[in-house]
Structure 1
């Protein structure tokens, strides 16, 4: 790996960490009037198109199954989601939004639309926004590919000999 690549990786990681914090902050603001947290919104949003098992939600979101399980149980307790039988797996129930959960997500929509429009303007229009989405999706795909095979070098190893580097 060249020094330029290392610097680019560091800048990218720091930018993504900052962006994650920014998204979480604004998501909390958007979700609060609907009686949700950003995490609750994230899990409910993952199952809006179709019910999913907790492990499937975790894969889609890129977080641990245990984190999703904790949030899913809270959503069920609050009446925003329900567990349904899973025809593909007897023990791994599917999480599905209830009508109350769908209504809560619907209350977020006006603020979400306003934020999307503001971001599109700030980025220079919808085409620039779409380009940004494509670049971030490509970065995520690359990290998935590289990260799946990456092994950190042992002390004193030559960085050029590390698989995945």
Structure 2
């Protein structure tokens, strides 16, 4: 199944990613957009850190279940709250250990490089279905345009705009996720 692309805040809101409380995905995505990505003049999403070095808890994502499209580029994921101190407090503050779904959201990136830079070729958000698998129907690509929109907002404004109630029917992910 092809991965849908989220291009604007309404798409993100309707996807259900990072919702409801106590999930950390929205704070994680805001952190990632503002601390890990710089959009260069050439339109590349320049990586502000090298995921290969495991900063912030990044680690290789092997895509064994073919959740994401095949690429020769390496994938890395970030967002596991079981890595103490890896992420800022505003991302981790609602983590309650293994008692709820507060640790199911992840960001997965494919990383390209040349002799001078590393950049994120693709950015995805997803959520665990259980401890070993991710939910294919709750996996989305995040567009560069959406990254720019997120970068233009304060965290509180971003959370409010993505979480706020809307009268439009949503495509919220209908997932039954196992507590991690």
Shorter-chain-normalised TM-score: which range? under 0.3
TM-score (norm 1): 0.25
Which protein shows a greater Rg? 1
**Structure with the bigger percentage of strand:** 2
TM-score (norm 2): 0.23
**Structure with the bigger percentage of helix:** 1
